[in-house]
Amino acid sequence: MIDHSDANTWYGTTIVAVRKGDKVVLAGDGQVTLGATVIKHTARKVRRLGKGDVVAGFAGATADAFTLFERLEAKLEQYPGQLTRACVELAKDWRTDRYLRRLEAMMIVADAGVTLVLTGTGDVLEPEGGVTGIGSGGMYALAAARALMATDLDAETVARRAMKIAADICVYTNENVVVETLDART
């Protein structure tokens, strides 16, 4: 568990991915905190990568996340249309490169066919059940999304409601949500 008492460390984010029907949705809140102080309410932690056919969200240190986004985009150029391969190659670099090993972030990435969670320990995980979450409120959003998947709600509504529930529980998550949606293969 993360110790949020260090006033010199930036914390807080919730990212949730929902794959349902013909859509995959990534949603992320906008709150950035330094210790117990909210520094920003409108950060954009979810974005499109590559040619717009990949969406990604990050939790962790912002500069580290941007470094990882850039590295992933380079891997996507090297392995076009192969998100899993690009992510595995990034994970190898992240785990073995002396500079990258120090990066503190997690990512959720998705394209039309697959959703993956990437970590600095070399993990490239495909979640079960069409949902996953990362960040300080990630497990709250994940639990909410799993419960909502059994309803008739579409992917975006599930993601938005899950983010609302996470924001109601996690003090490091707010309701300023950015959503990116892709058409997905069923």
The single-letter DSSP state of residue 94 is H
Instruction: In whole angstroms, give the CA distance from residue 99 to residue 94.
Output: 8
Active-site annotation holds for 13: yes
Instruction: In whole angstroms, give the CA distance from residue 161 to residue 111.
Output: 22
Task: Return the amino acid letter for 123.
Answer: D
Instruction: In whole angstroms, give the CA distance from residue 18 to residue 161.
Output: 11
Which has the closest alpha carbon to 124: 142, 101, 106?
106
Spot the catalytic one: 13, 33, 132, 173: 13
CA terminus-to-terminus distance, the chain: 35
* Residues with active-site annotation: 13
